[in-house]
Structure 1
Amino acid sequence: EYRLIARGGRVVWVRDEATLVKDEDGNSLYWLGVQYDITEQKRTEEEFRKSEERFRATFEQAAVGIVQVGLDGEWLRFNDKFCDIVGYAREELGAVSVFELVSPDDFERDFDRGVRMLAGELSDYTEEKLIVGKGGRRVWINLTVSLVHDDSGEPRYFIAVAEEIGKRKQAEEERQRTQEQLSQSEERFKVLAQEVVEGIVLSENGRIIDANRSLTEMFGYDLGELIGKDAIVLTPPEHREMVRRRISEEDTRPYESMGLKRDGTAFPIEIRPRHLPYSGRRIRVTSVIDLTERKYQEEALRQSEALYRTVVEQAEENIFLVDAKSRRVLDANDALLRSLGYTDDELQEMTLYDIVAHDQKSIDLNIGRIMEEGRRSLGERQYRRKDGSLADVEVNVSAVPYNGEKAMCVVAHDVTERKRAERMLEEIREAERNRLARELHDSTLQDIVYALQEIQVMQVVSDGDPDPALQDTADALKRSVEGLRGAIFELRLKETLDRSLVSSLENLVDLNRRMARGRYELELVVEDDFPSRLPGKAGQELTRLVQEALTNVRRHAEAGHVRVELGLDGVLAYVVVSDDGRGFDTEKAGPGIGRQSMRHRALELGGEFDLESAPGEGTRVRFSIPVSRLVKG
């Protein structure tokens, strides 16, 4: 095939067919040629080629996925966009069966449609559906499927156009969900609006379009009477201008006004307006709260506060408020100002740490307990006066709200004068005890000892058998001497403690040695680091606790050796009285008076009491207390 230029310069396509003609002997004679004009055929082929190129470009560059599938279900052709939709690379998709992309739920329906198209019952179809992409990913597409026929009408292949609509479906679902939520919200609003205590009125352009039951009951109207009315009718004339201005300015700040009931009664209300979408419109939703009860309570509270202020200011007790967090003094009555000598301005610049004459740790610990329990009695404490002196007070504290914050109300009863009187009385008692001790020692005890010695002389010089009555008298006198010495020790306990605790214990141990009459050895061991001096009460109670333990040993233990030991174990001070006596079963033994007394004394000092004993293994009594608490008394 080649081209020729015809007359006029027209290009003509020809197909030249030549045949070599030979004679009978096979010799070549000549060429016989026939030329065919194929110009029109070439033009048709060129147009088809350009059409094919245009189709191929459209196929490959289309913004939608396009596939050709053979009648046997095998891929014939697919473009890059379809590969993007299903997530496969071109070479990967070729190895994947067409049917693997079909959702199992759609398989039978899609197969039936293919059969119907081949049967001529269905020319094409379009639907939105889910297909299975790479990795099992579900992809929403809008699919259009057609069957392509040849010139004779025979089906050749299926062609499908797939548009990914995932974002659109997501937007539609979101829109539907939003619409459902909006509908549910409106329904909930209607239900709640009917149930809430607040009155709710819906208005548009100032006209009432709906209201809840609380509002109609609050104002005394039927709902039908309110619909269509100007919302301003619910306020007295003198307040309408202000309310109308707020409505026109679309002011949504809460404010107080007056409401007007159907019977003409005016009452205080709080109005809280806002603008909301409602059934496709923008309306004004107004909450109305009846303030009648609140105003009554506010007035009652104002009167109560005035009464409280009068009572607090005139009270003789020291009363003040403290912020629980900052510990700052918030308010105080005149009694506290007079007691401590500060002005009101000075006191409000101070914290609780400036007033309470105790360490910060104990103050914080008490505050924590107060806030946890709600109220607490702290017993006796000391407050600092402006002049540096200390005031003795009995303190009770309650947790209270104050301006929306947590605070403490402290009531401190000044017992300084009482404490001074108690100290004076104690001094008088101590002087009297010392006087009695001297008289008992110098007079009574000496007389008894002299009588005992006379009896002992009579027993020695007697020639006959010992007189049992005389021996009984001697024993009785010995017991009297021991008892009087114990009483004298008790009366002089404070005096000996003023010298030192060790001195007092040595006297106590010496007394018990004499009372033991050699039945057992008695040992006193005091470690060097044990406090040598203790506050009066602590020293007295500790000495009496040891005395109780030694009395029990003398009366019950039948011991050969007794040890009294005082020492320190870390932050604890301890006192141990142990013996090697007969011991007893602590579970079977009843709660003896001696043990109860020792336990009570230990608890009063803030310590712990332990008793260990077993038959034949002796007895060990141990009292322990934090050193810091012991030295403070």
Structure 2
Amino acid sequence: VEDYRELVEGIPAILYIDRPDDLSTNFYTSPQAEALLGYTQEEWGSDQDLWLRIIHTDDVDAVRAENERCNVDGEPFHAEYRIIAADGRIVWIRDDALLVRDEQGEPRYWRGIMLDVSAEKEAEEKLRWSLDVLRRTIQQRRELAQKVETAQEEERRQIAADIHDDSIQVMSAVDLRLALLAERPETITTEALAEVRSTVRDSIERLRSLVFELRPAALDREGLVVAIDQYLSYAAKETGWSYEVIDELTREPDPELRVSLYRIVQEAVANARKHAGASRVSVRVMTAGDGVTVVVTDDGTGFDTGRVDTPEPGHLGLATMIERAELIGGWCRLSSAADAGTTVECWLPSDAAGG
């Protein structure tokens, strides 16, 4: 008997024997119940309502129903539920019991075992949370890919329209002008040739601007800061604002990271151009930890940050850039107030994927 007691009390679980009634009146509960739940053997034996009373309120109805069902049909009892321990802790229990019958087949008692499965439940919850995060991340990436594709298609459409409405029209006009001059050589004058050359130079300049908008050569040849400086210089010609670029990089970012940072600055500047009133724009680029931070500030009139979801044609927009930064492990903060300008601050990790 003593050996059996030592065996029972050495198992890392609560063993019990209950009557086959609605309260599961307790005959015996092993001493592990006190170590696990804080209730003594005496409490289990003297307080017949204890078991149902300490079950979590969200679980007690289902457990009671399972207990009543098993008492009626004699099927094995199985339930997973939460118990409120004596110290207030919530402990997940897996409870299994078998009905023992006498020689006449009449129910004698339930013999059961309670296991602490709190760690298992915590792991399951973490797994569910991770899967939920993964599902949401996949959905966000799909939505982002759709936005990028839409923006790229709009950009292609805009490029085609610009080339057709500008460069092709200009070249057609030049071709017509040259044809007329060829038909009437006597009309070829210095002024006429100068007019044609001026038209061609203007068209070349507009094509250069278009190529610059797509991807400046300086981004690959001279680095991020030079490319940003050139872009601000280009934007300043249209807006008339002054600008500065503050270089606090300790090393040049990798090509993919360079592109992502440049696009963020490009969208922030496009946003400043869209919401008029700025006379000065500042861009600060700095190495920060295992990544790079860019801060774009303007002194404009500010705007409603809820409107960042309406990008200009051919642009991803700040909202999408913020999403992309977060998806590759970075972050973006946007602040703006009436007559207080706008600040866009983004950090991207060095191992971020470009795009």
Tell me if both proteins adopt one fold, taking TM over 0.5 as the criterion: no
Taking structure 2 as the reference length, the TM-score comes to 0.42
**Which of structures 1 and 2 has the larger relative contact order (alpha carbons within 8 angstroms, sep 6+)?**
2
The structure where helix makes up a greater share of residues is 2
Identify the structure with the greater strand proportion: 1
Q: TM-score, normalised by structure 1?
A: 0.26
- Compare CA radii of gyration and give the structure with the larger one: 1
